[in-house]
Structure formats: C-alpha cells, structure tokens
C-alpha cells in the first residue's frame, strides 16, 4: 500500500455518469477518469469479495488529510484510497 504523498492531493473528486466514473483532478492539474469498476476492483480493503460488473459509486467521504472512502452500489465501503493510490489509478 503506497504512502500518501502531499503532491498528489486532488483538488476535486467528481462522480459522473450516474456513478459509473470518477473524474479526479489533482493539484498539479492532471485530470483522469477512473471507471467505477476499476475503482471497485482496486479497493485496498481487507474485504476481498468481488463486486458486480455494473457497480457504481454512490458515496465519497474524505478521510483525514490523506485519503477518500468510496461507497459502492454493492455495499462495499471499507476501502480507504489514499491520494497516491488514486494517482496510480489515474496514470497507469
């Protein structure tokens, strides 16, 4: 699990297309769209149960200074995604 790095703080997390995609804009200007399916599949939670193919994002909560928690339509909400992980998902 990568450590949170301050330079990768997002300036905006935008849920689009009825929860099917997350657009992340980082403080350095980089913007990327992450499909909900990919975000769900990359959950760092210890709960390794798989999500359905039509999963959507239904909630976003800030976690301290370093991460966000996503709530998914299948009830999965234990993944805490730090900014470095979001950067990885946005650029890989």
Partner 1 sequence: MASEQEILAALESTPGPDGRTPLARSGALDGLAVRDGKVFLAIRVDPARAEALEPMRAAAEAKIKALPGVVAATVTLTAESEAPAQRGPTARRRPPEAQAIPGVSRIVAVASGKGGVGKSTVACNLALGLARLGLKVGVLDADVFGPSMPRLFGLAEKPSVGSDGQKLQPLEKFGVKLMSIGFLVEEGAAIVWRGPMVASALNQFLREVDWGELDVLVVDMPPGTGDAQLTMAQSAPLSGALIVSTPQDLSLIDARRGMAMFKQVNVPLLGVVENMSYFVCPHCGGRTDIFAHGGARREAEAHGAPFLGEIPLDVVIRETSDGGAPVVVSAPDSPQAAAFLAVARRVRAALFSGEPARAAPRIVFE
The residues binding partner 1 (CB under 8 A) are 3-6, 9-19, 33, 35, 37-38, 40-41, 48-56, 58-68, 71, 73-75, 80, 83, 92
Percent helix, strand and coil across the chain, each rounded to 5? 25, 35, 40
Radius of gyration (C-alpha) of the chain in whole angstroms: 12
- Closest contact distance (angstroms) between CB of 11 and partner 1 is 6
- Closest contact distance (angstroms) between CB of 25 and partner 1 is 8
Residue 52's SS3 state is coil
Query: Exposure of 33 by Cβ count < 10 A (0-12 exposed, 13-18 middle, 19+ buried)?
Result: middle
φ/ψ (deg, to 5) at 79: -85, 125
């Amino acid at each position: 699990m990568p450590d949170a790095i301050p330079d990768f703080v997002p300036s905006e997390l935008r849920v689009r297309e009825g929860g099917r995609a997350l657009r992340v804009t980082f403080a350095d200007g980089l913007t990327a769209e992450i499909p909900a399916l990919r975000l769900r599949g990359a959950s760092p939670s210890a709960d390794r149960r798989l999500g359905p193919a039509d999963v959507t994002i239904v909630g976003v909560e800030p976690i301290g200074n370093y991460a966000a928690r996503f709530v998914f339509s299948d009830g999965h909400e234990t993944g805490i995604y730090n900014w470095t992980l979001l950067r990885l998902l946005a650029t890989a």
